[in-house]
């Protein structure tokens, strides 16, 4: 089964469970777990991601659903009549709205729906805020990650666009956030390491006093009543367009912070797994800048070290990544042009070769359309090993081994479509596969 996160025609986000049947998701098997109302007429920051913790709780990140285009790259606090969609106080800073939040729920095993586990930001009775909320004060928590060891939540927070400080607030920062416990992460009143925005009258452009982190009250006309809010928690890692004085390794340029996976070497015994050197590291990455960083930290979150991973490798806007059971890093690359079918968009697999490179399997068939009983020659002669190692061959049809020769002849005694699979393996156990039809 799978858990897609999508937008319905009735202007709701939906997280649903579907059954995987014959390698396809069947829409007839949908079981809705949760829906979240959104504004789509004038909209932004509606996406997010899903991740399970070790206890089976599901984290769901949701953007503030607030267009940033009329806030000069600062906080969208527009309370003028008819402008509520431009006020992030109605979502991110609203304890009774699920947008601009990261939710933590427990999906029911059957028939959809969910329960709320203990330990979220607000009590289960819902009187002080929505009980599903784990983290509030989020702008665009686009990619989240869970530490598989203890369930700590991490996410990349895509920040506002201001390139420099101004009377309307601080310059924009992207953030990597860490939440070992529930909390308020400040948006739209604070950014980065709790740098405050001022109160702004969008009708007159008058700038007031900066918000006080020790006394946060949402007084927007776009919430039903005043809401005292929890004190904001500072970002774990934060960086502007320019090179950061606090995190100079992250460079400069465009920003789209992403939280990537944790690497635990013990989870794979493959010879191609990532190096043990990266054990216990978390990967963070940036969609715009194309880098990947490994971050090691203490149990309390204090950063021990940070360094680039494969800095010579230029990724085409990485939009998601995870480690597979084989210990390889799988990277989904979006490509270089927005809203386009990019030729460089791809799913890449990055493995560690340990000074021995995997062989390359290449199969060929004497014919691909046969009469019943006609013989076909199958050959692995084009396969090769870059290190010159001796190769062994395994051919399979319908999951059954049919030959271990480099070249052999086969007769098909039943009509059908067949997919011969060739695996070549070198003397150190490195292998690759190829499939024909």
Strand partners, 286: 257
Tell how strand 101-107 and strand 58-62 pair up. Answer: antiparallel
For the CA atoms of 112, 118, 120, 125, the dihedral, rounded to the nearest 10 degrees, stands at: 80
Enumerate domains of the chain plus CATH numbers. 5-260 (no CATH), 364-435 (2.60.40.10)
Tell how strand 237-239 and strand 227-228 pair up. Answer: unpaired
Report the pLDDT value the prediction gives residue 332, as an integer from 0 to 100.
97
Environment class of 88 (CB within 10 Å of its CB; exposed 0-12, middle 13-18, buried 19+): buried
Query: Alpha carbon 205 to chain centroid distance?
Result: 37
Report the pLDDT value the prediction gives residue 1, as an integer from 0 to 100.
45
Tell me which residue of 161, 195, 196 sits closest to 69, measured CA to CA: 161
Report the pLDDT value the prediction gives residue 373, as an integer from 0 to 100.
81
Report the pLDDT value the prediction gives residue 88, as an integer from 0 to 100.
98
Alpha carbons 31 and 17: distance in angstroms, whole number: 5
- For residue 148, give both structure tokens: 């598989």
Q: Is the dihedral of CA 366, 367, 371, 376 positive or negative?
A: positive
CA angle 16, 121, 262 (to 5 degrees): 65
- Is residue 6 within a helix (H) or strand (E), and if so which, with residue range? strand 5-7
Check if the beta carbon of residue 298 is closer than 8 Å to that of residue 121: no
**Omega cis (within 30) before 133:** no
Mean pLDDT by 10 residues, the chain (437 residues): 59 87 86 90 83 97 94 96 96 98 96 95 97 98 97 98 97 98 99 98 96 97 97 98 97 97 95 92 97 97 96 94 96 92 93 86 90 90 92 94 95 88 93 86
Check if the beta carbon of residue 327 is closer than 8 Å to that of residue 270: yes
Tell me which residue of 148, 145, 128 sits closest to 179, measured CA to CA: 145
Query: Alpha carbon 415 to chain centroid distance?
Result: 44
Q: Which residue is it, tokens 């992250």? A: 250
pTM score > 0.85 for this model? no
Q: Residue 66, Cβ neighbours under 10 Å: how many?
A: 32
* Alpha-carbon distance values, 270 to 11, 111, 274, 275 (Å): 45, 38, 9, 11
Q: How many residues does the chain have?
A: 437
Query: Alpha carbon 67 to chain centroid distance?
Result: 22
Q: Is the dihedral of CA 190, 191, 192, 196 positive or negative?
A: negative
SS3 content of the chain, % helix, strand, coil (to 5): 5, 40, 60
Report the pLDDT value the prediction gives residue 4, as an integer from 0 to 100.
57
Alpha carbons 336 and 351: distance in angstroms, whole number: 24
Q: Which residue is it, tokens 């004060």? A: 137
Report the pLDDT value the prediction gives residue 9, as an integer from 0 to 100.
65
């Amino acid at each position: 089964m799978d858990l897609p996160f999508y937008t319905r025609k009735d202007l709701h986000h939906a997280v649903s469970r579907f059954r995987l049947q014959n390698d396809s998701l069947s829409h007839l098997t949908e079981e809705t777990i949760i829906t979240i109302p959104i504004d789509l007429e004038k909209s932004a920051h509606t996406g997010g991601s899903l991740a399970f913790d070790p206890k089976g709780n599901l984290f769901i990140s949701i953007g503030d659903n607030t267009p940033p285009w009329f806030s000069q790259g600062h906080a969208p606090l527009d309370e003028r009549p008819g402008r509520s969609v431009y006020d992030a106080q109605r979502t991110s800073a609203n304890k009774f709205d699920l947008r601009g939040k990261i939710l933590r729920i427990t999906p029911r095993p059957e028939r959809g729906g969910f329960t709320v586990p203990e330990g979220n930001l607000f009590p289960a009775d819902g009187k002080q805020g929505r009980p599903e909320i784990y983290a509030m004060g989020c702008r665009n928590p686009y990619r989240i990650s869970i530490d598989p060891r203890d369930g700590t939540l991490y996410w990349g927070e895509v920040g506002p666009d201001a390139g420099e400080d101004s009377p309307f607030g601080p310059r924009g920062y992207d953030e990597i956030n860490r939440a070992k416990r529930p909390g308020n992460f400040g948006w739209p009143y604070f950014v980065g390491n709790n740098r405050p925005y001022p109160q702004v009258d969008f009708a007159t452009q008058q700038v007031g006093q900066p918000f006080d982190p020790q006394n946060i009250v949402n007084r927007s006309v776009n919430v039903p009543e005043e809401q005292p809010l929890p004190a904001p928690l500072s970002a774990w890692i934060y960086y502007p367009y320019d090179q950061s004085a606090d995190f100079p390794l992250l460079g400069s340029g465009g920003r789209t912070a992403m939280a990537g996976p944790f690497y635990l070497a013990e989870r794979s015994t493959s010879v191609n797994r990532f190096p043990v050197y990266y054990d216990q590291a978390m990967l963070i990455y940036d969609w715009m800048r194309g880098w990947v960083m490994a971050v090691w930290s203490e149990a309390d979150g204090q950063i021990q070290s940070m360094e680039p991973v494969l800095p010579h490798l230029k990724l085409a806007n990485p939009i998601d990544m995870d480690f597979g059971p084989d210990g390889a890093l799988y990277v989904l690359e979006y490509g270089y042009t927005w809203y386009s079918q990019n030729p460089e968009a791809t799913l890449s697999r990055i493995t560690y070769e340990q000074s021995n490179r995997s062989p390359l399997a290449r199969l060929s068939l004497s014919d691909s359309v046969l009469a019943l009983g006609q013989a076909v020659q199958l050959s692995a002669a084009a396969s090769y090993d870059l290190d010159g190692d001796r190769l062994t061959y395994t051919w399979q049809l319908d999951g059954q081994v049919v030959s271990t020769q480099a070249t052999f002849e086969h007769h098909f005694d039943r009509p059908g479509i067949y997919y011969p699979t060739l695996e070549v393996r070198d003397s150190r156990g490195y292998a690759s596969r190829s499939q024909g039809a």
